[in-house]
Amino acid sequence: MPTTFRTSRTPRAPRTAEAPPPLPRTRRRGRSAAVAALLASCLLAAAHPALADDGPGKDKPKEPKPPAAMSTVGGTQLGKPGTQVRLKAGAPPLPKGLTARSWMVSDAESGEVLAAHNAHWRLPPASTLKMLFADTLLPKFRKDQTHKVELSDLAGVGEGSSLVGVKEKYTYSVHDLWLGVFLRSGNDAVHVLSAMNGGKPQTVRDMQAHADELNARDTHVVSPDGYDEKGQVSSAYDLTLFARSGLRKADFREYASTARAKFPGEVKKDKKTKKAKREHFEIQNTNRLLTGDTDLDPYEGIAGVKNGSTTQAGATFTGVAERGDRVLLVTVMNPAKNEHNEVYRETAKLFDWGFKAADAVEPVGTLVAPGPDGVVEAEANEKDGVAGGGRNSHQQAAAVPAGGDGAGGGGWTAAGIAGGSLALLAAAAYAVHRRWPLPDMVRRRSRP
């Protein structure tokens, strides 16, 4: 079912050139001719306003262009600039109005890349990089572990950062902090968890090592929260790898699909009992395809994952959604169209297209498995003419070692899984399931 959008906005009147400001009066007769000439010039400009595309564009910042050649991880076609898609006869065309610098649509389970646009263009990722942060650190701490925040834990939180409201000298559980990361994209919560991990430099090293393990070769980590930093980049391809890997962790799925939660606040005395009591306040997920907005409905079947927005990155988003027996991942980076919720609108268009076109396109690439054998296998498949993994694609999706879900121990459960298969990779054994255990609450979610 195509997504629909609500709007209560009244149409705007067409823009017209503003009239020139009134000229100051002068008593000097000698300037009357000059004034008349200047007035005529202004009126002429008003009658024929300069358009954004007029002239050489010296006053207009140039849109950056993708490199002529990019990484070919996942397939050589993904390394080409521009839109890559192989439509079969009768396949629906790609949606109109896509303005993002980079985007990608892929099958979350098979790893087939259905279509892409500058998939390996290295761009600032904003808070979508928190998917890598979470995938790296989630296994390290128990959910019930607590930490008393010191002032040093919050050092280095960038100006203008999104915050959940973590305060020094207060104690928080790891569960609380992850809610702050996923729902409010709280850089304060990220920095506290980084401090618990040994500090920012150690966390950056851990994240980079994990990105390398996942074959996310476009990614260079400088700050764990995705804040604009020189040299910090990722790509639509890599962000999709992070989401896919994270979603195989039960805790990651839980946090990514949580729309609202209570977060610990200050300790205050109860007026009646006079006893100190920890207050809580509600936080809502900033993923608007999950929660909706005044001009946007929640997307049917959405289950996460992460959004971001900074000055350099623009708006970025990676989402996962399920419809019928198919689970898709869509990543969109930096739409040029500067409209409210545009990154979600373009994501929804790509989801709609992907669900319709999944069986009517030839894959243009594949999401590689972790480790060196992931790239080797993908290259071998491409030489055999199986761009997206084809008939063996369900055996390429690998993200966590067998015997654990990476979220504090315990293997995969049968609950929520309709069927499954196991595959052994040369480097290690990985648990692979044809049906993803997306939260039932998300599968049954209906629009308001």
What does pTM read for this prediction? Answer: 0.76
- Side-chain half-sphere exposure of 86, counting CA atoms within 13 A: 14
Rounded CA-CA distance 424/408 in Å is 23
- Whether residue 78 contacts residue 116, with contact meaning beta carbons closer than 8 Å, is answered with yes
Supply φ then ψ for residue 188, to 5 degrees. -65, -40
Question: Do 94 and 86 contact (CB within 8 A), yes or no?
Answer: no
377 — pLDDT class (breaks 50, 70, 90): confident
Q: Which DSSP state fits 123? A: B
Q: Which residues contact 25 (CB under 8 A, 6 or more apart)?
A: none
Amino acid at 285: N
Cα–Cα–Cα angle for 407, 408, 409, rounded to 5 degrees = 100
**Spatial distance between the Cα atoms of 224 and 232, rounded to a whole number of angstroms:** 10
* Alpha carbon distance 303, 253 (integer Å): 8
Residue 394 or residue 222, greater confidence: 222
d(CA 321, CA 179): 20
pLDDT in tens, 206-260: 999 999 999 999 999 999 999 999 999 999 999 999 999 999 999 999 999 999 9
Q: Is pLDDT above 60 for 402? A: no
The whole-angstrom separation of Cα 255 and Cα 21 is 54
Residue appearing with tokens 């076109």? 357
Give the separation between CA 136 and CA 207, rounded to whole angstroms.
6
Q: How far is CA 350 from CA 113, 182, 215, in A?
A: 12, 23, 25
Tell me the pLDDT band of 62, cut-offs 50, 70 and 90: confident
Instruction: Render 267-327 in DSSP notation, one character per residue.
Output: EEE-TTT--EEEEEEEEE-S-HHHH-BTTBPPPTTEEEEEEEEETTTEEEEEEEEEETTEE
- Residue 86 clears pLDDT 50, i.e. is over it: yes
Exposure string (b/e) for 171-190, b if CB count within 10 Å is 16 or more? ebbbbbbbbbbbbbbbbbbb
The closest of 138, 133, 106 to 405, measured between CA atoms, is 138
Q: What are the pLDDT digits (tens) for 6-26?
A: 333 333 333 333 333 343 333
